[in-house]
Structure 1
Amino acid sequence: MQPVRVLLAPDSFGTSLTAAQAAAAEAEGWRRAAPADEVDLLPLADGGPGFVDTLHAALGGRLVPVTVSSPIGEPVPAALLHAPDGTVYVESAQAVGLPLVPLGRRDPTRTSSRGVGELLAHAVAASPRRVVVGLGGSATNDAGAGMLAALGLRGERLGAGGGALTGATADDLAGLRRLRDRWRDVELLVATDVDVPLLGLTGASAGFAPQKGATPEQAQALERALDDFARAAVDALGDDVRPDLLAGASRPARQRLTAAPGAGAAGGLGFGLALLGGRLLPGASLVADLVGLDARIAAADVVVTGEGRFDWQSLHGKVASEVARRALAYGVPTVVLAGQVLVGRRELAAAGVAAAYAVSDSPDDVPAALADPARSLAARAERVARTWSRAGT
């Protein structure tokens, strides 16, 4: 029998395992069940946590340590990746990630994206040819207002969290055009972890604010606040909002910007960066291209991907859906291995996923899995290998 060639290409498993740790655990379990198989490890990211580390491992370059503000204003360490081609990569989660805010202090009406602006200030200080910002996993919901304040935009309400944006007017963003002008010579790319809009049922507030600590009432208030902020920002920019032919130049500027895929990523940071002239791109696709995912898929018989929680968000631009999409083009089956699987068979089939397995067999097993995530993931990978190694022979 020919050995199966398996590509292990996971994202991080929340705060439990980095992508590299997850791939290593899966490899350990797979090799126990099928020691003759050829196992290839390719940790991935989608713009969220692990974005810089994943690209550093693939591209090389130099990591430059900096200190920035957390969502609650405390100093936290971060790092810029200066790649060999002159691009600087930054990861917003290092400044505004959910783990940076203790459970008792999680309130997206008050947390600020100021630290992302500080990261960008450090990045442009080196006069790079290009800056790429990874978005995802944030504790904030201020549409990038705090980031803009850190970059020099004056206005008391901008750095006080999403809740303070209610009633914002163009006067609160009077310097936005000048700030945008300062960024015209920088190619600013925004790698978003999800393709959701700023507003609406799947937007920053309704779709994500609850997992950051918002009550239903606060989520509704944040929706209104971000709508006010978007109107004020477009009014402040005036005719400086360049038409996007692909998005439909006939639509009002506010609608183009708020409805853009990825505008709602990281609590609306996608929208805030678009105000600076940033171009929103799917983060999982960008990383996949940079690390050479297609060639690794083409050499495999089966691909195993996954993340901590495989749910509706996973189907909106995250790593697993991107891997499945690319593998389908090569006729290679994709298997998802995740901490939790909350997607039905119909949605899996539509996404091109052949099968999905949860690390824990039942909700009662979750605490034990979290207590030793690497061992639990390796054990599940071992059982999955017994099925898919035989299937591929």
Structure 2
Amino acid sequence: MRVLLAPDCFGTALTAAQAADALAAGWRGGAPHDEVTTCPMADGGPGFVATLRTSLGGDVDAVTVTGPLGDRVPAAVLRLGTTAYVESAHALGLDLVPPARRDPTRTTSAGAGVLLAAALAGGARRVVVGLGGSATNDAGAGLLAELADTLLGEGAVGTAGAVLRRGGGALHDVREQDLRWLPALRDALRDVDLVAAVDVDVPLLGLQGASAGFAPQKGATPEQAQDLERALGVFAHAAAAALGPDPVRRDLLAPPAARPGARPGARSGASRWTALPGAGAAGGVGFALALLGGRLVPGASLVADALGLPDRIAAHDLVVTGEGRTDWQSLHGKVVAEVAARALPLAVPTVVVAGEVLVGRRELSAAGVAAAYAVADGAEQVAAALADPAGTLAARAARVARTWSPA
């Protein structure tokens, strides 16, 4: 049997390439007669640039940017002709913040602005920004401020820059006049094809938005998540107002207009950006890039196209994918859902091997997944698996291989 192994990274425990190698070692141990091929994947989050470089080649520029806590961290720009690929996780990644210091009310996306500016400085006319795996939840306010000061001149943002770079918790007091430079920044990028490769298709606000859906896993308490939801709503209203009237329907998720004289219960003006699928990616950086005229596209789909995934799947009898945790997010633009969607019309079964599986069989089946297997169940098994992630993943893959491979 011909088996294609196409996993994403397993959180911070294994890169996609390491996960693919562990799955391959396990599968060959359980079914040595099978023909196994690896195809590491990415969805815009960690591993985005490395995965694309493996397939596409290109030149890599090493740069230094601002991390989520304001320290200096290494990053990279992948260049292919006039196209540049960058990975926001290099500047905003959750792995850059020690667990004891994780607080999305304070972490900033400013480093992503430095990274985007570096891509533009090399003459790129098309910039693809991978979004996912961030420690931030500031709707890209830090990115916008950093990019404005770079492209429009130091001080273009004025005194509001300090607030915008302070994290999502500081956005409650942002007003339209604080963002008066936004139209000029958008205009400065009018000749650049800006693409946001998002890892999830969620909006900025709401029950599955950046704050409610993702802030807790970045260290926020329930109270902080609610506070961030309100703060991002205020910022979104101010940004929409600064960019001018928009002839689309009003955004019912936005909070009451935060300006003197507003009617009690009044909603903010029309803001098509907050409801865009992917606006909530990377703590709302998708929203910020949309404000600048960027297109939001599914990162897993972009990578699948770049790797020629359908042709690879068609040459195999079974495809195995995986990730650290398969949960509701996995069905909203992640690698697992994308691989299954590409395999389904080719009548090739998709099997998931994940660190944890928190989605029911019915939901997985509806997404095109034939079966899902967890490496660990419960806190104790998860802790044991993290002690030897490659070994435990390989062991689970060997058992799965004996189930699926013909005797």
TM range (shorter): over 0.9
Considering only aligned residues, what root-mean-square deviation do their CA atoms show, in Å?
1.3
In structure 1, the gaps of 5 or more residues are 244-248
- In the alignment, structure 1 residue 232 sits paired with structure 2 residue 241: no
Per-residue CA deviation, residues 242-265 of structure 1 (Å, 9 max, x unaligned), is: x7xxxxx45567442101000000
Aligned counterpart for 2:112 among listed residues 113, 116, 129: 116
- In the alignment, structure 1 residue 58 sits paired with structure 2 residue 55: yes
For 1:251 and 1:218, locate their aligned partners in 2 and report how far apart those are by CA, in whole Å.
26
For 2:306 and 2:102, locate their aligned partners in 1 and report how far apart those are by CA, in whole Å.
34
- In the alignment, structure 1 residue 344 sits paired with structure 2 residue 348: no
Aligned to 2:194: 188
For 1:363 and 1:72, locate their aligned partners in 2 and report how far apart those are by CA, in whole Å.
29
Per-residue CA deviation, residues 75-123 of structure 1 (Å, 9 max, x unaligned), is: 000011012x421000000000011111221111111000000000100
The alignment's TM-score, normalised by the length of structure 1, stands at 0.94
Aligned to 2:27: 30
- What secondary structure is seen at the aligned counterpart in 1 of 2:204? coil
Instruction: For 1:221-370, list aligned pairs within 5 A.
Output: 221-239=227-245, 249-250=248-249, 254-370=270-386
Displacement, 1:361? 4.9
- In the alignment, structure 1 residue 170 sits paired with structure 2 residue 170: no
- In the alignment, structure 1 residue 43 sits paired with structure 2 residue 40: yes
Aligned to 1:96: 92
Displacement, 1:315? 0.7
Aligned to 1:246: none
Displacement, 1:341? 0.5
Displacement, 1:362? 4.7
The alignment's TM-score, normalised by the length of structure 2, stands at 0.91
- In the alignment, structure 1 residue 144 sits paired with structure 2 residue 140: yes
Aligned to 1:78: 75
For 1:211 and 1:387, locate their aligned partners in 2 and report how far apart those are by CA, in whole Å.
34
Paired amino acid for 1:216: P
Aligned counterpart for 1:129 among listed residues 110, 125, 129: 125
CA contact 1:67–1:75 (8 Å) conserved in 2: yes
CA contact 1:230–1:254 (8 Å) conserved in 2: no
For 1:76 and 1:183, locate their aligned partners in 2 and report how far apart those are by CA, in whole Å.
26
User: Across the two proteins, how many residue pairs are aligned to each other?
Assistant: 380
Aligned counterpart for 1:218 among listed residues 224, 231, 239: 224
- What secondary structure is seen at the aligned counterpart in 2 of 1:229? helix
Paired amino acid for 1:230: A
Per-residue CA deviation, residues 291-315 of structure 1 (Å, 9 max, x unaligned), is: 1000011111111001000001101
For 1:192 and 1:380, locate their aligned partners in 2 and report how far apart those are by CA, in whole Å.
30
Displacement, 1:360? 2.0
Paired amino acid for 1:171: Q
- What secondary structure is seen at the aligned counterpart in 2 of 1:112? coil
**Once structures 1 and 2 are overlaid, which stretch shifts more, 251-260 or 106-115?**
251-260
Change (3 A) 1:361 1:199: closer
- What secondary structure is seen at the aligned counterpart in 2 of 1:256? coil
For 1:281 and 1:361, locate their aligned partners in 2 and report how far apart those are by CA, in whole Å.
33
For 1:202 and 1:366, locate their aligned partners in 2 and report how far apart those are by CA, in whole Å.
25
Paired amino acid for 1:69: T
Displacement, 1:234? 0.6
CA contact 2:356–2:377 (8 Å) conserved in 1: no
Paired amino acid for 1:86: T
Change (3 A) 1:382 1:160: same
Identity %: 69
CA contact 1:95–1:115 (8 Å) conserved in 2: yes
- What secondary structure is seen at the aligned counterpart in 2 of 1:115? helix
Aligned to 1:385: 401
Displacement, 1:129? 2.1
In structure 2, the gaps of 5 or more residues are 150-155, 252-268
